[in-house]
A and B are shown apart, each in its own frame.
Chain A
């Protein structure tokens, strides 16, 4: 099992006021799945993604990544898992300004221990996979929103991770650019065999995943295989 959570709870404490974000969430995700986590704002979906992505700590419950309890990872191992096994795609893209697409995509390689001689080829391969080869020397400010998100996906791909976490990846894009991103995720899932866990509040975006987990008030409302799964290219054509 790639990911397994049992009775996961997360409580934010701010000046002694406790705000529960997750109240007992359990599910598991196998390698190769394409899961959309959806729900209204405040349902705890972002918190869940951050915990799954080793970016935030949990308050109660258990989280096993590749059958290993999160408590058993040292800080060094956590950094290593984030670098090698996980890829992150954010709503705000989070590309470094005044740095080219190529350099941005290389960023995870800096921390990877991969030989420097291989960096260029790996980065170019990832950029090619997202169809941005004609933009490698551009700065983020010279790219459209869709192109910036594709650069960010290339960065998430460069270390060939098991799982890609995407936090509202289409939230800042117009519908056409958003569809191209969803098409890319489907392709990466089907052809590249990457597990994809995606957060969205848009129903039609969620319906392009293979499985939908609906959250409400920090609890799972439903967890089911997508019935009438939408093909992303259906929209863009």
Chain B
């Protein structure tokens, strides 16, 4: 018998039991849908985070206190107060870090802001006017801080769009005073709507001079972060070296394993994010693959029932000249066609769900989320579903092919 007729015979067999066929492939459909959805959303999330890191630019270097966490115990032993004013001064010295263009210390935390009877809990970021350049965000109304305001511990704030609406509604906010930790801050700027960028929602943040934040809001003498802009992307690695040497000198560290700070470049951050999301995606796919296994067992179960039910048909086919191979191929192909159809439906369903999710995320959550169709994942899903059919269809198909025509014909 030709392959074409194997296919035709198998299709007729499946068509005869339509509703059962549909129910049987449900397990495969769900499994493949889950895999495609996870792969697609994982890719989308990765692209989103990477594009955000990229938007910060390749010339930006972040210095963080403590040790780069390598395990849960490291987190316990991180130093949070190791970056201080003297480090800022040492790094600002051109002879220490020649390629440094701009330097900005950052302190952050949360505090309640009050205007009249309205309150809101924004993320408070103590920065310099340079933040605007790094994050690519500018005031819609008003202006940035001046150097003098930073140096003189001025009580001025630039607020995110949500902070503005929460506190002021539709009223004019510019030049009004809001109260944070008992101090009156003059609103000098209102940022345009930006949404979530990496781990910070800019719309729910208030930016004030870092000096004011250290002294009056958080009462600390250290920085949570120091951000450095390098004059040229090609000098990033040299600058990382320069910063490391400068800070070790400043902290009196001779043994590199005792470093109480770590440095992250955009490229490193992208690599880390890439590997984290890949591992996470892989893990979730593995979990989803279990449902394929369950689906496969379901297929085997139904195929066995089908073989028993169609015993007379098998006997008849053999009496009419079908060989064992003919019968084996018929039932094996039925299983493979079944799972492959399930796979195709799963791919379409998974991609559609992912597409809907991407629309919802970008419309409702205002994320710059792009739908991505996992082409490799689709082929993988197709291959895996066919393989499931082959593996789990083989046993029932062999059972069918071994039936003696006489026994089969006598079967009631």
Contact = CB atoms under 8 A, between A and B. Distances in A.
B217 to A, nearest CB: 78
B318 A82 contact: yes
A96 B313 CA distance: 7
A141 interface: no
Interface stretch (A104-112, A187-195, A227-235): A104-112
B320 interface: yes
A99 B406 contact: no
A119 to B, nearest CB: 10
Contacts of B9: 110
Interface in A39-84: 50, 53, 55-56, 75-76, 79-80, 82-84
Contacts of A138: none
Given A94-B409, A98-B16, A155 B320 contact: yes
A94 B310 CA distance: 11
A18 B323 CA distance: 30
Contacts of A116: 2, 5
Given A97-B16, A110-B9, A111-B1, A55 B406 contact: yes
Interface in B376-410: 404-406, 409
A108 B321 contact: yes
A55 B409 contact: yes
A80 B316 contact: no
A95 to B, nearest CB: 9
B30 to A, nearest CB: 29
Given A55-B409, A90-B409, A75 B319 contact: no
Given A94-B312, A110-B9, A111-B1, A82 B406 contact: no
A161 B1 CA distance: 19
A88 interface: yes
Nearest to A53: B319
Contact of A88 (B1, B15, B320): B320
> Binding site of B, secondary structure by majority: helix, strand, loop or mixed?
helix
A84 to B, nearest CB: 7
Contacts of A155: 320
B320 A75 contact: no
Contact of A79 (B12, B313, B323, B404): B323
A84 B326 CA distance: 16
Contact of B318 (A79, A90, A103): A79
B320 A107 contact: yes
Contacts of A82: 318-321
Contacts of A50: 406
Contacts of A110: 1, 5, 9, 322
A102 to B, nearest CB: 13
Contacts of A80: 321
Contacts of B15: 98
B16 A107 contact: no
Contacts of B316: 94, 96
A99 B313 CA distance: 12
Interface residues of B, number: 23
B404 A56 contact: yes
A67 to B, nearest CB: 21
- Tell which of A97, A107, A116, A159 has the most Cβ of chain B within 10 Å: A107
Given A94-B312, A110-B5, A75 B12 contact: no
A56 B321 contact: no
Contacts of B1: 110-111
A157 to B, nearest CB: 12
A110 B323 CA distance: 11
A128 to B, nearest CB: 20
Given A96-B313, A110-B1, A110-B5, A55 B319 contact: yes
A177 to B, nearest CB: 22
Contacts of B406: 50, 55-56
A59 to B, nearest CB: 14
Given A55-B409, A94-B312, A76 B319 contact: no
B409 A112 contact: no
B50 to A, nearest CB: 55
B317 interface: yes
- Tell which of A94, A99, A159 has the most Cβ of chain B within 10 Å: A94
Contacts of A159: 321
A83 B405 CA distance: 13
A36 B409 CA distance: 21
Nearest to A96: B313
A155 B183 CA distance: 98
Contacts of A94: 312, 316, 409
B81 to A, nearest CB: 79
B231 interface: no
Nearest to B310: A96
A82 B15 CA distance: 28
Interface of A: 50, 53, 55-56, 75-76, 79-80, 82-84, 88, 90, 94, 96-99, 103, 107-108, 110-112, 116, 155, 159
- Which 6 A-B residue pairs are closest in the complex by CB-CB distance? A83-B321, A111-B321, A56-B406, A79-B323, A108-B320, A55-B406
Given A79-B321, A88-B319, 18 more contacts: A53-B319, A55-B404, A55-B405, A56-B406, A76-B323, A79-B323, A82-B320, A82-B321, A88-B320, A98-B15, A107-B320, A108-B320, A108-B321, A111-B1, A112-B321, A116-B2, A116-B5, A155-B320
6 contacts: A82-B318, A83-B321, A94-B316, A98-B16, A111-B323, A112-B321
